Structure 1
Amino acid sequence: MLIYSGYVYRLKKSTKNVKYWVCQSNSCAANVHTNASDQFVKANGQHQHLPAPERIELRDLKNKVKERVRTEATSVPKIYEEELARSNISSAALILAPLPADAKSVLNRARRKITPPIPTSSDFDIPDLYRQTLNGKPFLECHAERLNLKFEPQHVMSDFEMSLIKAVKQKFPMATHHGCYFHYCQSLYKQVQLLGLGTAYFEDESTRLSCRSTMALALLPIELIEDAVHLLEDDSLSEMKDFFKYFKYQWLTRVPPTYWNVSTLEFRTNNFAEGELLSFLEKCASLFCHIGWHNKFNNHVGKTHPNVWRLFGCLQREELSFRQQLGKINCAMKKKKNDTGCFIRTQIATLTERHEKKQITLLEFINGLSMIVAQKSTIAH
């Protein structure tokens, strides 16, 4: 397409030195000649209609949307709405612009044109486009061969899905598997709400203390947990009876304390993989940089069950982000260290030492840990 003096032209034919353009309106005889480099040569005839700058605005909008549709995994309606919002087009162009639902089918076709067919089995060829990074480097496979890496983790941290616990045990029998403290606390608070104790949690200090104390059990030396549960149950209000019944079944029988007790771990959550940058990354900055992976990647994928090509495209963009952050770390462009995690570890160590020296009772030990739970950022460290 060619835009000249507020009119839009389409290419009719071209020779070695000249391109012949005709007005986009089929009923208009006006035409323009340019050289092979699209530089204006001359115009012929008069237009039979007024120029429509709104159409030019809409064409620019369409081109920007199509470019993003072809290169991003973001949903088509979202791309369209974002570009429409930032385009700052005139009121007339806004009225003429199609609604997101009307533009969706055309834009989806543009995306499908560059997307290979969805595989129907696990045996399929990967096009060259998806075998390399966005800067054209061979992707993953060459590095795996060069490094000769075997994925045999010594430690695994995850949430508490039973199917995942069984899978880790089967696949990595020699690995130590711990549950994430963040998910442990999250599960307990969810149960508080399911039992109708949400209001009491906010309004009644005793209820709140009982809930936080059960969260604090994961920070307690594992040999003290059984006595601590009985102590907390006896010390709690009658309204907490069902909660402790749930706790003893779910967290003492179904999922034993060996999975959720994190008192001996330096890092108690996998939240560093869900958006939090923890201090230990600085120790291995020359090897990799942390990218808040789970939440960030889920947001980039944009849907629960993406097709394989959408997933590959997201991995390519993730590699680009990783490469950028790795470069920053290697150039010593690091974020300021957060001391919250160190402060919390010191608090836990102090309480543990005081209990071991019998300076505080077990209940006082638990209550002290519950105050750590109450701190805003505790379960992120």
Structure 2
Amino acid sequence: MRILCLISLLFSIQLLAESHLPPSSEIAVEPYLKQVKQQLTTLTGNNQTADNVFQNLGFSGVKSASQSNLMVDDTWLSEITLTREHHGIFKLLAPPSNKTFFAPQSTDIALQASLDLTALHELILEYHRAFGREDEANEILGMKIGGVELSNLLQNKHTTLQLCIDFDDTRQLPLGKENIGYPHFALRIDGCCEQFEQIVQHYMQTRNALFTRVTTESGSLFTLPAYFSEAIAGYLPVIAFNTQEDSTTIASSADMLKRLASEKDSLALDPEFIETWESLPLDSSCKLYVSKRAVEGFHHFYKLSLKERWTDNPSFLAKKFQISAAAAQLNSSKSGLAFTLSSEENSDTITAKSPFPSSFILWVLKTAN
């Protein structure tokens, strides 16, 4: 843990020393809000319904926005800030915290999201009340998942979701005519540990699930028979419940679970991650990391899709040139991609490190149909 704290401190020093973003410039938010409302109208088929959804999702509370960009080597460090009233979907985001990624070294995709599940409970009620369908909301909240009511999972709970994927090049997984590095993955959920174990045990009893429960020092571990791997591409997932940390971890294998438990194998010590995350804020509500290797893999499959004509979608073909140029640009920097989202009482700040400035991303959003 001391090593991880030291890494965090070094990041903070680097951030203060090098990431002096220029003053922000205002963004006219009306065109973007208008586009969101148009999309909602298309989806709902009714202007009044679209207005209700627009308001309940919180978009009507967006007051202003600003952006700032700084070129660092071959990569843009960008920041977009929204000023708003704190309601709608924005209530789902928990306040920023300094949590390291729950991921091993060489991870290619890592996602972390800190959420306030009590807000989801409120959103479900508010959304259905807007249409006079509160009974439907109560039915949804009363649904049982493995014997546990949904409302019990949502009430008085703050949670952090963490997902990591590591593509192992020493082992190949067929994907059509191509092979990809075998994906090792894990999903961790903080909070609701007791309820999630109840759900697994419920399915063991009622659906004859093949899990075996073993008591551990920190809680319990659920495993599957070895022969089960033959049915799911060699995977033999495990579920670990840590009652001390109130966490649930689903890992693609017992080996992956061991890697996650080792501080010496943390993503925070990965040189590529350190280079990519340089100058980004440590505190955030949500954050995403994509390795350079994953970006290169995406670009490879994109070019393959053009060569073999995987799609003849007219909308795609009409913008193929622009999309291809953007895909090539995405793969142009020497580092990977990184994004953070920090939610405060009346504002949200998105910080990104990518080959694109925020102005380009906003232009894409504005012109997208």
Q: Normalised by the size of structure 2, how large is the TM-score?
A: 0.22
- Give the structure with the higher percent strand: 2
Q: Which structure's relative contact order is higher, taking Cα pairs within 8 Å and 6+ residues apart?
A: 2
Q: Which has the larger radius of gyration?
A: 1
